[in-house]
């Protein structure tokens, strides 16, 4: 029988890519899902209905597994439903780590985010940091990844880029970003987009590489781009032409996010704050430990852009 790996967020964007990569490497999968059951892939994928706060579901999912990959995270909070950064990122990670320890699953791979640190300007990153600290203090043989913005087919981020490029989402006439200064002309942070397939490859590679145990890896592609550059590259790949790219002043976006959350664009306050920071990293350690580098943004985007819904 093949070794079995437990994956949280199995029906999500990154989780789906990780499962595909695990199966390609000969692993079987138990996937925690909160939507419909996954394709069983000839009996190799076992769907486990439930959530991070269901101890019985976690126990069922981890039963018989040699490793766990924890992916679940959120970018939008829904406090009325109990969906907050603190609960999902921090407490959710604690529940998965504790369940893995109880189940005797020694190997653990954790998805964090680039920019995570104790003094981060956003609650998103601060709650990710507290989760990391819990992982590091655990007896598990852990590896932590901190990806930059992840793109790929089926991802919400690139679906939004496609909607803007096709002029099907507000503000319709241009592709927006949040710029510093009174008129938004002061620029914003730079990004290092990484393809979801490369993220999945890294996660699964780590399982068979003991050198990665106890290590934290920033994870980004080889291209460092500004928001306007990313928008223009996306538009050219998706619709075959450039679109106008204009800045919305970050101060205005913050104000509107405070007063009328969700009314400006599909962004929240933390995303506006995070957009003002560089989201880039040094990939030297990753390349040394893994022996490869993720693909470039334009080249990997071209593989699927035309088919993005």
* pLDDT tens figures, 238-263: 999 999 999 999 999 888 877 665 55
20 in a domain, yes or no?
yes
- Secondary structure element (H or E) that encloses residue 219, with its range: strand 215-219
Structural domain includes residue 87: yes
What pLDDT score was predicted for residue 263? 52
**Does one domain contain both 133 and 60?**
yes
User: Is 289 domain-assigned?
Assistant: no
Domain-ending residue, one of 111, 130, 147:
147
**Cα-based distances in Å from 194 to 35, 76, 225, 280, 288:** 26, 21, 12, 11, 18
Q: Give the model's pLDDT for residue 264.
A: 52
Q: Is 101 helix (H, G, I), strand (E, B) or coil?
A: helix
Tell me, yes or no, whether 126 lies in a domain. Answer: yes
Domain count, the chain: 2
Q: What is the pLDDT of residue 266?
A: 66
91 pLDDT tier (thresholds 50, 70, 90): very high
Indicate if 141 and 157 belong to the same structural domain.
Answer: no
Confidence category of residue 289, pLDDT binned at 50, 70, 90: very high
- Rounded-to-integer distance, Cα 221 and Cα 283, Å: 8
Check whether 10 has a pLDDT greater than 80.
Answer: yes
Per cent of the chain over pLDDT 70 is 97
Question: What does the DSSP 8-state code read for residue 6?
Answer: E
Domain identity same for 32 and 168: no
* pLDDT given for residue 162 in this prediction: 95
Q: Is 121 a domain residue?
A: yes
Averaged over 45-60, what is the pLDDT?
A: 97
Same domain, 176 and 305: yes
Place of tokens 């009328």: 260
Q: How far apart are CA 222 and CA 225, in angstroms?
A: 10
**For the domain that residue 65 is a member of, what is the CATH number?**
3.40.50.720
d(CA 228, CA 31): 37
Q: Are residues 1 and 119 in the same domain?
A: yes
Query: For the segment 159-189, what is each residue's pLDDT rounded down to a tens digit?
Result: 999 999 999 998 899 999 999 999 999 989 9
Closest CA to 193 of 155, 231, 147: 147
Same domain, residue pair 232 and 113: no
Are 141 and 152 found together in one domain?
no
Same domain, 132 and 172: no
Mark whether 91 and 166 lie in a shared domain: no
**In this structure, what CATH number is given to the domain that contains residue 166?**
3.90.25
Residues across the chain: 309
What domain range includes position 119? 1-147
Degrees to nearest 5, angle at CA 112 with 136 and 39: 115
In a domain, 261, yes or no: yes
pLDDT for 309 equals 83
pLDDT of residue 36: 85
- Assess whether pLDDT exceeds 70 at residue 6: yes
Helical pair 156-165 and 227-239, crossing angle rounded to 10 deg: 70
136 and 172 fall within a common domain: no
Statement to judge: residues 100 and 1 lie in one domain: yes
Same domain for 126 and 177, yes or no, is no
Residue 98 lies in a domain: yes
Residues 73-87 pLDDT 10s: 999 898 899 999 999
Predicted confidence (pLDDT) at residue 1 exceeds the cutoff of 90: no
Report, as an integer, the average pLDDT of 222-240. Answer: 97
150-167 pLDDT, tens digit each: 999 999 999 999 999 999
Q: What single DSSP character describes residue 211?
A: G
């Amino acid at each position: 029988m093949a070794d079995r790996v437990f994956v949280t967020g199995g029906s999500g964007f990154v989780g789906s890519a990780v499962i595909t990569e695990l199966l390609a490497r000969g692993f079987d999968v138990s996937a925690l899902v909160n939507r419909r059951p996954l394709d069983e892939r000839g009996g190799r994928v076992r769907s486990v209905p439930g959530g991070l706060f269901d101890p019985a579901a976690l126990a069922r999912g981890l039963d018989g597994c040699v490793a766990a990959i924890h992916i679940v995270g959120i970018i939008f909070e829904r406090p009325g439903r109990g969906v907050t950064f603190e609960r999902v990122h921090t407490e959710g990670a604690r529940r998965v780590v504790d369940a893995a320890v109880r189940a005797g699953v020694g190997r653990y791979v954790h998805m964090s985010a680039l920019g995570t640190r104790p003094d981060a300007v956003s609650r998103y990153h601060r709650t990710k940091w507290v989760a990391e600290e819990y992982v590091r203090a655990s007896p598990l043989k852990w590896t932590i990844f901190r990806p930059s913005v992840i793109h790929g087919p089926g991802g919400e981020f690139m679906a939004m880029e496609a909607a803007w490029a096709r002029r099907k989402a507000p503000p319709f006439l241009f592709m927006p970003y949040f710029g510093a200064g009174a008129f938004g002309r002061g620029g914003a942070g730079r990004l290092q987009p990484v393809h979801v397939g490369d993220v999945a490859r890294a996660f699964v590679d780590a399982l068979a590489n003991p050198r990665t145990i106890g290590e934290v890896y920033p994870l980004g592609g080889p291209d460092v781009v500004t928001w306007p550059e990313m928008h223009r590259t996306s538009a050219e790949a998706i619709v075959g032409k450039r679109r106008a790219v204009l800045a919305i002043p970050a101060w205005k976006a913050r104000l509107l996010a405070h007063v009328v959350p969700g009314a400006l664009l599909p962004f929240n306050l933390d995303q506006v704050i995070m957009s003002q920071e560089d989201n880039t990293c040094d990939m030297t350690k990753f390349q040394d430990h893994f022996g490869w580098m993720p693909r470039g943004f334009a080249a990997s985007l071209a593989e699927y852009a035309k088919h993005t819904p």
